[in-house]
Amino acid sequence: MAENDDLNLAAGGETEKPKGGALKLVIIIAVAVLVMGGAGAGVLYFVLGGDTPQSDQAAAELKRPLIYRALEPELLGNIDGPGRIRFVQVGVVMALRDPKVIEAVDRHSPVIRNDLIMLLSDKTYEQLNTAEGKETTRLEMLETIRNVLERNTGDPGVESIYFTSFVMQ
């Protein structure tokens, strides 16, 4: 009978499963997945998310405050109109961020003024009499100023222009 008891004990021992083994395995796998995911995210952050010195410099350029510079004296030109010769007088202020651009604008002011007056002279009264025509002219004038500066200094420099007066007669 003793042999039977030993057999029963052995049979009972084989049917019992150790408690907590499967739970420990699940926890270990979950921790390993979290660690691997964190490591992967860290690698991606440093590889893809790192800023280069050029982007830091560009961000610093954008953070500079705007400097406003008037183009003086105001521009005056002839325009075609119905029945008679008409005149337009436009006050222009340029917005820029680099003080060096002010020197470039002053140095190339004769070319800028010439090109802007020629641009205005090509316009008609009907074109300049509408809000859309004024906005189109403003954008064309900005592009003209940028082209002159780009051609002579290599840097367009002017961010925007604004009309401070606009008189047609």
pLDDT at 19: 62
pLDDT at 152: 93
Q: Could you tell me if 165 and 91 are in contact, meaning their C-beta atoms sit under 8 angstroms apart? A: yes
pLDDT at 41: 76
The whole-number mean pLDDT for each consecutive block of 10 residues of the chain, a chain of 169 residues, reads 53 56 84 80 70 57 84 92 86 95 94 96 91 96 96 93 95
CATH ID of 66-168, from 3.30.479.30, 3.30.465.10, 1.10.10.10, 3.40.190.80: 3.30.479.30
d(CA 157, CA 160): 9
* Extents of the domains making up the chain: 2-50, 66-168
